[in-house]
Structures are given as C-alpha cells and as structure tokens.
Amino acid sequence: MRYPRLVAKDAHVFDLAKRTLTNLYNKPPTWLDLAHKALDKAVFDAYGWDPSMTDDEILAALLKLNLERSAAGDVAPTGAETEEQSEEDEPE
C-alpha cells in the first residue's frame, strides 16, 4: 500500500517556507483575524463588558472579579491542597 506524499512538491517548497509563526503573527490571514474578533466578542458578551475597554480596564475588571470570587470562597480547587485543608473539609 502506498501512502500519500508527505513532502511538499518542489513547486510549493518556497511557499511553505513562508509559513512561519512570525509571518502568521505579523500578517494574519483574514479567516484568523475574523476568528479572533468573533472570540473577543463572545468573551466580552459572556462577561457583560463593553468591547471598547482598554487592556488596563480589562485587567482591572479581571482582578476585581478574581478578588470577589476569592473572598466568596468561590475558588476552583487546584488539586494541591495541604493536609490541613483536607482535614478542614471533612465532616465531623
């Protein structure tokens, strides 16, 4: 049984050499840019935030949310509990 060729044909070697993470970051294709925008919109909608927030405003809102959840004891377990914490959680 022959498997499909995994090596690029000679005519496409130079095109593939241009496909780097740096080039993808510097000149993202339209589909990737649209995907990022859709994800950003979904996140802002989920948090109920204004999409025009600056990075500093986003970080401040995330910190506030984190502190509120931490103070309320609404923190997801990390799996790295100490023995003392485990004993506190056990019913007497």
Q: Where are the domains of the chain?
A: 10-73
> SS3 for the chain, per residue?
CCCCCCCCCHHHHHHHHCCCHHHHHHCCCHHHHHHHHHHHHHHHHHHCCCCCCCHHHHHHHHHHHHHHHHHCCCCCCCCCCCHHHHHHHCCC
pLDDT digits (tens, 9 = 90+) for 2-53: 767 666 667 677 777 788 889 888 989 999 999 999 999 999 999 999 999 9
pTM over 0.85: no
pLDDT digits (tens, 9 = 90+) for 41-89: 999 999 999 999 999 999 999 999 999 998 888 766 666 555 555 555 5
